[in-house]
Structure 1
C-alpha cells in the first residue's frame, strides 16, 4: 500500500470539491483531490453527441454560477471561462397551441411591456419585483447560499428592507409558488414565469417553499440571463481545475475512495480501491452524497445509532430522465418567440403542473410530462454547425421508479410532447441519446437513482435539517471531516457554495479560536448522538 501525506484530501472533483480545493490551497494548504471517474467535473461535463454537436451531459445553464460568491471570488474568467447567453433567457408557452409564448427579454422594461399587453398591471408589477430584487440581491444570496446560521445575510436584509418589509418579504418567500404567482400577478403568462422556474426543484407547486426557487431563478433570468459556458459545460470544470492548479492543487482521476480512517474521533486518512493511502494533516472534505459518507466511507464505530436512524429518513429528489438531441435545423416552435430562448418550459400551465406533481407523488409515470428544454446552440453558437441546434430535454419519474422500461416510456412521451409544441420536431432529429437514472448514477455516483439535487429540496430537508437534524452544514460528528457536497446546505445547483462553506469551516477550525469551536462540536456530538 502506497502512502503519502497532504494537508487536506478532497474526495470528488465536482464543482463543490474543486471549489473547496482552491480555497484551501489559496490558504497555503497542500491539497489533493481524488476523483472516481476518469475525468473531473461531476455533473458538469460535456461530450460530442454527434460529429460537430456538443452535448451537456448533466447541468447546462448556470444563473446561480454567475451569481455565486464562490465562483466570483475564484475569478474563473481569468482561467479561461467565457459565458454566453441566448437573446432571451427563457420562455413558457401556455399550451401546445400557444403561438405567442411569454419570454424574458434582456431588458426588464421590454419584459414588462410584453407582460402589460397580455394583462394590464402586470408590467408595473414586474418592474416592482425587479426593483425589489435589485435591492435585496446581495443580501438574499448571502443568506441563502452562505453558511448556516445566516447571520450576515439576515442582518443585511433587515438593514435594506426594514423590519416590516423584511417580514413581508420572508412571508412571500415562504409561499407556495402558485399562491405567490397569484398574489404578484393578475395574468396567466406572468404567473407561468415563476411557476416554470419553481419546477427546477422537486417541491410541488402547492407546497410551502416552492416560491423561493421560482422567485430566485426568475429574477436571475432577468438579471444575468441563463448563461452557458462557451464550448460546453466541461469548460466550467476546466476553469475550476486550472484555478486549483494555479494554487498548487493536484487532481487525480480514476481514484475511487473506499474508506475514511478515523482515530480518536478525528479523520486522519483515506484509502482507495487501488490500494493507496493518503494521510491528511488537517482535514478530509467529502464531495459525496450524505448517505455515501455515513454508510459507506466511515467505519461503523464512527457513526452513532442516532445518525443512522436519522439517515433512514433521508429523502432523495425525484429521478431524472434526460434526452439529448442533435437537430439538423432550429426547433420548429409553433410560437416564434421561443426561437431565441435558451431555456423553454414545456408542457404545463398552472393546473397541469399540479396534476404532473400529483403523478410523481402517487407513483404514476406522467402521460403528459413537464419538461425543461435547452436550446444550447441558441445560447452558445459554438455548440453545433450554423443552422442546426444542439438540444436536450429532461423531466422526472416518480420517486423510487428508476427502471429502464419506465425511463424509455417517459422518454418517448418527451418526444411526443415536443412534437405537440413544435410540429416537425421529430423530422429534425439527426441523433438522439437517452440518459436513464442508472446512466446518470453510473457517470456520477452522487446522482443516486438519477436524483440530481443531492436530496430533496423540500423544507423538511433544508437549512439546519440538511442532511440530517443537528448537522445542517459542512461539519460532521467526526473532527476534521466536512461534507462538501449538495447533501449539505445550501444544497443543489452549480454554485460551488457547498464546497466553499466546507473549506472555510475547515480553515476556521485550524485557527486558535477553532479550539472553542471544536469543544462545542464535541459537546454537540454527544448531545445529538
Structure 2
C-alpha cells in the first residue's frame, strides 16, 4: 500500500505525483505503456541521428506555467532553447506575418500588411503584459480561481474587467477585426486559435489566439534542449529523488471502490494496488468514469452527460528527416520554429467548416515545426528535423489509402512554398489518428486536447457540467488529465489541481467539511 496511486505517467500524472511526494506522501505511478511522458516524448523515428518530438513540441504555456516553474525542473536537467523567430504564418500568396521575441521586428512585419498595425500590436501586447501574470493564475489554478480572479479584477477595475470578459468570448475573427486592420496580425491570431479544434468563427476561440500570440511575444515558443522527452525526464528524475515509483507495462483495468470511496486500482494482470489516501487518474474522462469506475458508482445524470462528451478533432502528423533545411521561397520563414501555412483567414474558416461537417478539407491548414532551427541538437549539422500536422474529422477508422492521400497533399502544400522540399527528404514517419492512439492511449482517435475546447466543455462544464474541479463523485478519486479544467496543453495544471484537491481532502480542509461540500454541490447538479 502507498498513500497515492497515480494512473498514467503523462506529464499531468507526473506533476501530480511530484506535488504529492513534496507533501511527504508515498506515491506509485502506474503506466500502461513502456515509457513515461504521454504526449511529451521524443525519439529517433525517421532516420538515425534525427530526434523527433512524437506528439507535442513547442511549449509557451509550459515555459510560462507557474505550475512547472515552481517544480524547478532546471535543477533536474531541463534546459530551454529558442528558434530565431517564434512563428511565421505563410499566406498562399507567399507573404509572411512573422512573430519575433523582438517586439520591434514583429511590429515591422505586421506594418507591411496595414499601416498602423505595428503600433496596434504594441498596444495589444501592453494590455497583455499588464494582466499576464494574474491571467495565467486565473487560467491554470483550480476552478473557481477566486483569489487570482479577485486580484485581477481589483487591478483592472470594473470597466476594464468587463472589457476583458467580453474579449474572452469573442471569436478569433472578431477579435482580430477589432484589434487590427491588416490580414497579417489577424491571421496570426486565427492560426493560433486553430491549435485547438475551434474555427475562426467560434465564440471563445479568440482568447486562445490572443494567449498563444502574446505569450510568443513575451517568452517565445521554446523547446527543451534534446527533445520533448527531456521535460518528461526532468519530471521523472525529480519524482524518483523524492522516493516516488513508476511501474511500466501496468495498464489499469478498474478503480477499486468500496462504499463510494476509491481504495486503489486493479491492473490488467489481476494485481490490486492499494491507495491509502487518493487515486489520481491522468486518463481521458470517459475512460475513467465509464471504463475504470463503472456506472454503478456514478449518478445517472452524470452518465447521461458523459454521452454528450465531445472529443476534439483527429490529427495526422508527419515527421521528416531532411538532408538540408526547408528551402522556403520566402526567406523570412527560414528562421521560424513554427510555421503555419496553407490558408489565409477565409481559408481557415473553410478548412474548419469542412472538418465540422465531417469532410476532409481539400486544402489542409498545416502546423509545421522546424526542430533543428529551434534546437541544433535535433539532427546532424546542416540538416533539419521537421514535422507537420493537420486536423481531420474525428471518426473511428481511416484507410491506408486515405492517409497516403493526406500525406501526399501535405507534402504538396509545403513543396508549393518551398520548391525542392521533397528532394531533401531522407526519412519519413507517419502517425495516422489510430497510430497516435496506439502510441498513447489517451489520444483517443488522434484527439490531442482531451476533449473539445469549445465553451460548452470548458470551466465548470469540463468534462461535464459540475466537474470543473478535480473532485469526482467517488470519494478520494481525482481527475488529473487534460479532460479536466483547464484542458489541453503542456502546462501541468490538471495534474497540479488534482494533487491539491487530494491534499485538501486528506487534510479535511474547511473544518472537516470538505467532502460534504463537494458532495452537496454534486447532489445539487445530479440530484
TM-score by length of 2: 0.97
Q: State the secondary structure of the residue aligned to 1:148.
A: coil
Aligned to 2:483: 487
Alignment of 1:58-73 (within 5 A): 58-73=55-70
Aligned equivalents of 1:510, 1:16: Cα separation in 2:
20
Q: 1:94 pairs with 78, 85, 91, which one?
A: 91
Q: CA deviation at 1:192?
A: 1.3
Aligned equivalents of 2:246, 2:198: Cα separation in 1:
35
Aligned equivalents of 2:86, 2:60: Cα separation in 1:
10
The 1:159–1:525 alpha-carbon spacing in structure 2 relative to 1, beyond 3 Å, is: closer
Conserved in 2, the CA contact under 8 Å of 1:325 and 1:431?
yes
Q: 1:301 pairs with 275, 296, 303, which one?
A: 296
Residues 381-409 of structure 1, C-alpha deviations (whole Å, 9 max, x = no match):
00001111000000011122641333332
Q: CA deviation at 1:473?
A: 2.1
Q: State the secondary structure of the residue aligned to 1:363.
A: coil
Aligned equivalents of 1:512, 1:11: Cα separation in 2:
23
Aligned equivalents of 1:512, 1:283: Cα separation in 2:
13
Conserved in 2, the CA contact under 8 Å of 1:366 and 1:410?
no
Q: State the secondary structure of the residue aligned to 2:472.
A: coil
Residues 487-521 of structure 1, C-alpha deviations (whole Å, 9 max, x = no match):
10000001111000000011011113252110122
Q: CA deviation at 1:320?
A: 0.4
Aligned to 1:236: 231
Confirm or deny that 1:497 pairs with 2:493.
yes
Q: State the secondary structure of the residue aligned to 1:351.
A: helix
Confirm or deny that 1:225 pairs with 2:226.
no
Q: 1:474 pairs with 470, 480, 490, which one?
A: 470
Aligned equivalents of 2:395, 2:52: Cα separation in 1:
27
Conserved in 1, the CA contact under 8 Å of 2:484 and 2:494?
yes
Alignment of 1:209-358 (within 5 A): 209-358=204-353
Aligned to 1:519: 516
Q: 1:454 pairs with 450, 454, 475, which one?
A: 450
Aligned to 1:8: 4
The 1:128–1:402 alpha-carbon spacing in structure 2 relative to 1, beyond 3 Å, is: farther
359-368 vs 377-386, greater mean Cα deviation = 359-368
Aligned equivalents of 2:212, 2:397: Cα separation in 1:
28
Confirm or deny that 1:400 pairs with 2:395.
yes
Q: CA deviation at 1:423?
A: 1.1
Residues 245-264 of structure 1, C-alpha deviations (whole Å, 9 max, x = no match):
12211111111111111111
Conserved in 2, the CA contact under 8 Å of 1:142 and 1:152?
no
Q: State the secondary structure of the residue aligned to 1:50.
A: coil
Confirm or deny that 1:172 pairs with 2:170.
no
Aligned residues: 523
Aligned to 2:367: 372
Q: State the secondary structure of the residue aligned to 1:392.
A: strand
Conserved in 1, the CA contact under 8 Å of 2:508 and 2:514?
no
Aligned equivalents of 1:300, 1:505: Cα separation in 2:
23
16-25 vs 469-478, greater mean Cα deviation = 469-478
Q: CA deviation at 1:275?
A: 2.5
Conserved in 2, the CA contact under 8 Å of 1:6 and 1:280?
yes
Aligned equivalents of 1:426, 1:402: Cα separation in 2:
28
Aligned to 1:416: 412
373-382 vs 164-173, greater mean Cα deviation = 164-173
405-414 vs 277-286, greater mean Cα deviation = 405-414
Aligned equivalents of 1:191, 1:524: Cα separation in 2:
41
Aligned to 1:45: 41
Q: CA deviation at 1:184?
A: 0.5
Aligned to 1:80: 77
Aligned to 1:435: 431
407-416 vs 498-507, greater mean Cα deviation = 407-416
Q: State the secondary structure of the residue aligned to 2:513.
A: helix
Conserved in 2, the CA contact under 8 Å of 1:319 and 1:401?
no
Q: CA deviation at 1:32?
A: 0.4
Aligned equivalents of 1:270, 1:435: Cα separation in 2:
31
Gap regions ≥5 residues in structure 1: none
Aligned equivalents of 1:288, 1:110: Cα separation in 2:
42
Conserved in 1, the CA contact under 8 Å of 2:295 and 2:303?
no
Conserved in 2, the CA contact under 8 Å of 1:489 and 1:498?
yes
Q: State the secondary structure of the residue aligned to 1:320.
A: strand
Q: 2:200 pairs with 201, 205, 227, which one?
A: 205
Alignment of 1:154-169 (within 5 A): 154-169=149-164
Aligned equivalents of 1:371, 1:237: Cα separation in 2:
26
Aligned to 2:30: 34
Q: 2:118 pairs with 116, 119, 123, which one?
A: 123
Q: CA deviation at 1:119?
A: 1.6
Root-mean-square deviation (CA, aligned residues, Å) is 1.1
Residues 68-93 of structure 1, C-alpha deviations (whole Å, 9 max, x = no match):
11100000111000111100001011
Aligned equivalents of 1:337, 1:402: Cα separation in 2:
39
Aligned equivalents of 2:113, 2:483: Cα separation in 1:
41
Aligned equivalents of 1:458, 1:512: Cα separation in 2:
34
Confirm or deny that 1:194 pairs with 2:189.
yes
Q: State the secondary structure of the residue aligned to 2:334.
A: helix
